[in-house]
Amino acid sequence: MAEMKVEVDREKLQIRMERVFDAPREKLWQAHTSAAAIEKWWGPRKYKTKVEKLEPKVGGEWKFINKDDQGNRHVFYGEFREMVEPERITWTFTYEPYPDSVAAETVTFEELPDDKTKLVATSNYPSIEALEGMIQGGMEDGARETWDRLAEFAEKA
């Protein structure tokens, strides 16, 4: 499986993740803009994801709920700020317990030879506390598992 690179820049209040997927760019774009697709790959395996809202257009809102077997819920939401199909999505990202820690995230989809795609997700945080909270909350492990699931989904789709 492809290696995911994660870089944390505390001066810029930024986390950058990068991975090459063995799937065409259009498939990965669709995986990010279809509620049915998102529910199949988004979040760690121990959660079932429900897309409560998805309006993939500038100004559109999104809201995803992760639920585990014990009924615990984790709610994430935001607003689409930029959509350049199939190259780039920029959205805000908020974890419900921390409504003041809104991150701005840009995901780029770079087409590579042999139907491969490089995905780069760059998240900018409003404060060092928000950045550190995300890191301490297990973001990197969750992101790795999520992108493993995305790779599996893209290969099947």
Q: What is the mean pLDDT of the chain?
A: 95
Query: pTM for the full model?
Result: 0.93
Largest CA distance in the chain: 44
Give how many domains the chain has, as a whole number: 1
**Average pLDDT of span 72-87:** 97
Question: For every residue of 26-50, which 3-state class applies, written as one string?
Answer: HHHHHHHHCHHHHHHHCCCCCCEEE
Q: Is a pLDDT exceeding 90 seen at residue 157?
A: no
Which CATH number characterizes residue 110's domain? 3.30.530.20
Domain extent, residue 74, equals 5-156
